[in-house]
A and B are shown apart, each in its own frame.
Chain A
Amino acid sequence: MSEPDEVLDCRGQRCPLPVIALARRLPQLPVGAVLRVLADDPAAAVDIPAWCRMRAQEFLGAVAGGSSYDVRRSR
């Protein structure tokens, strides 16, 4: 996976905090930008893609190595 435009470190935070941090930051980035969320709460693996679906943002996938998810601002 290519390098993200920005990395959001949410390690040590419990659900739903990583999703809240993502929801705060992504709209501040330009459309097309990729935000990488580092989150070790296992619920993030479910909730980050679910948030992208609900907000019509693009979930690019979990980054190899785990606890890390890329999201593209698509609108």
Chain B
Amino acid sequence: MFVSASPVYLDAATAAPLHPVARQAMLAALEDGWADPGRLYTQARRARQLLDAAREATAATLGVRADELSFTPSGTTAAHAAVLGGLIGRRRVGAILVHSAIEHSAVLHAAERHVAGGGSAVSVPVDRAGRLDLDAWSAAVRAPGVAFAALIGASHEVGTVQPVPAAAAGCADAGVPLYVDAAQLIGRAPVPAGWSVLSASAHKWGGPPGVGLLVVRKGTRWESPFPADERESGRTPGVLNLPAVVAAAASLRAAAADAAAETTRLAPLVDRIRHRVAAEVPDVEVVGDPVDRLPHLVTFSCLYVDGEALLHALDRRGFAVSSGSSCTSSTLRPSHVLEAMGVLSHGNVRVSLHRETTEADVERFLAELPGIVADLRAEAGVVGL
């Protein structure tokens, strides 16, 4: 009899499994957090208390003021608001956005919107490890007419942590506010210093999907790019999904409290994957900075292997991973991150671990991967090339 192996979910960088604290908080908030916190009756006051408590807890975890923090409908919305709002707030200075070549598509799409509206955008390169070229960055932000700068805190595709403090120093010298997309950092690593605007996404830390964070530091010239709405300090329109916000806040506190211990547990597993994949799978390129990296994410590309075929083969064996290969995307473009790094873009796999990942899960993945890749290469007739 064929017994299928238990599923191993290794795509936390897309969405981490819901933290049990998030589930509890969500269920409780569904009971007494359904009213609109903007109204003046008892039920609304209860909802308002829950929202205020969620904001204060989240702000305390991030080390910011509660009135600097807004909840948004997603990390993507927060990124759009961050970029476009930062540009609008400084439109008298100029219309140039500086960003790294490896931003999340949410930031790049906001940049495209800005350019379509007559602004311009300058993309700063990264090295082979996916690390920002700091000299090019400092030169770019010093140019006349630069209104705003955007830097991903750590790459969601290859895990390289960016030199945010040094990039922020360059921005400060030039008088340009810096936005950091911290979606892969918050809940796992300390919040970097030096930014004026920050965003994050709850489903990356074990909160529910559909909650983002937008932080705008006091004194930053930022204006909402959306039609007027007074909720969330006017930063992001529409009623909040309060039960999800409450769950996001509770799980962030739990994740941040465990972050150091989780790093100690997961970073060696990531190192193990990096070394064993390189040693045991022929013709593989393990990408991303080997040292300055996220504790939970590892990416590699397998020469001559079709990325989509590899994902399906892994899925059939119970492994859920993601890929930056163009073969797996609707655009047919290679991943702009892998392209900017100049590393192999096909046969790409991103593995990202979370609080439920065990050493046994990782060992099973490592035990099965070489055979899966070898079978695909045999099928494609590329063995020995």
Interface residues of chain A, those whose CB is within 8 Å of chain B, are: 14-16, 19-20, 23-24, 41-43, 45-47, 49-51, 54
How near does chain A come to B329, taking the closest CB pair, in angstroms? 10
Interface residues of chain B, those whose CB is within 8 Å of chain A, are: 283, 285, 303-306, 325-327, 332-334, 338-339, 342-347, 380, 382, 385
A46 / chain B contacts, CB cutoff of 8 Å: 334, 338-339, 342-345
B333, B334, B344, B385: the one within 8 Å of A23 (CB)? B385
Interface CB pairs A-B, < 8 A, 7: A15-B346, A20-B385, A24-B385, A43-B326, A47-B346, A49-B342, A51-B344
> Do residues B347 and A16 form an inter-chain contact, with CB atoms below 8 A?
yes
B382 / chain A contacts, CB cutoff of 8 Å: 20, 23
How near does chain B come to A48, taking the closest CB pair, in angstroms? 10
Tell me if A's interface is mostly helix, strand, loop or mixed: helix
Complex: A14 Cα to B347 Cα, angstroms: 12
Closest A residue to B338 using CB positions: A46
Q: A16-B306, A20-B304, A51-B303 are in contact. List 18 more A-B contacts (CB 8 A).
A: A15-B327, A15-B345, A15-B346, A19-B303, A23-B304, A41-B332, A42-B326, A43-B326, A43-B333, A43-B334, A46-B334, A46-B339, A46-B343, A47-B345, A50-B285, A51-B344, A54-B285, A54-B303
B303 / chain A contacts, CB cutoff of 8 Å: 16, 19, 51, 54
> Do residues B285 and A14 form an inter-chain contact, with CB atoms below 8 A?
no
Complex: A16 Cα to B306 Cα, angstroms: 6
A51 / chain B contacts, CB cutoff of 8 Å: 303, 344
How near does chain A come to B323, taking the closest CB pair, in angstroms? 12
A49 / chain B contacts, CB cutoff of 8 Å: 342
Complex: A23 Cα to B385 Cα, angstroms: 6
How near does chain B come to A38, taking the closest CB pair, in angstroms? 17
> Do residues B333 and A50 form an inter-chain contact, with CB atoms below 8 A?
no
Complex: A15 Cα to B326 Cα, angstroms: 8
B339 / chain A contacts, CB cutoff of 8 Å: 45-46
How near does chain A come to B126, taking the closest CB pair, in angstroms? 14
How near does chain A come to B320, taking the closest CB pair, in angstroms? 23
The answer to whether A16 and B333 touch (CB under 8 A), given A42-B326, A43-B326, A50-B344, is no
B304, B333, B344, B347: the one within 8 Å of A42 (CB)? B333
The answer to whether A16 and B346 touch (CB under 8 A), given A47-B334, A54-B303, is yes
